[in-house]
Structure 1
Amino acid sequence: MNKRVTIEMPDDMHRLILKYAEEAGKAPDAYMLDILEERLEDAYFVKRAEEALDAIERGESRIVSGEEFWRGLDD
C-alpha cells in the first residue's frame, strides 16, 4: 500500500525538482521517488561499509589482497 507524504521545501528546490523531472521525462512525484530510492540505497551501503570498517578496526575481520582471496579458488 502506498502512503502520501507532504513536505515543505524552499521554492528554489521545488523549481529544481520540476526542472529535473521534466528533463528526465518523468512526473515530479516519480522523479522524487527515484531520488529517494537512490538516497536510501546509498545510505544502506554506507552503513554496511561503516560496519565492515568497524569490524576490521576491532580485529573481527581483516583485509586480504586479491591474490590471497583468489588463492585456492581456482582448483
Structure 2
Amino acid sequence: MRVEGVTEFAQLLLHDSGSRYQLNTLIANGRSDQNVNLPNRIPVALHYLTAWPNGQGDVVFREDIYHRDAALLAALKAV
C-alpha cells in the first residue's frame, strides 16, 4: 500500500493510539520495516482512486494498477 504523507500518518497513529513509542526514535533505528504494536486499535479507511479533478477542474485519470475499475464499472452498469 502506498501512503502519501507516511511520516505524518505514522505520527498520528502513534499519538491517537496512546503509544509510548516516539516516531523520531523509530526512524533513528534505521529500519523501514518495523512492526509496532499499538495499545489501542485505530480504524483506517482506505481510498483507491484512479480518477480525480485537477486544479483546473478537469478529471485526471491514472492507470488502474490494482485492476479494480472493471469490477466497479460492472457493478455500476448492473444498477
The reply to whether TM is greater than 0.5 is: no
| More RCO (CA 8 Å, sep 6+) | 2
Of structures 1 and 2, the larger Rg is shown by 1
Smaller-chain TM-score range? under 0.3
Decide which structure has greater helix share: 1
Q: TM-score, normalised by structure 2?
A: 0.24
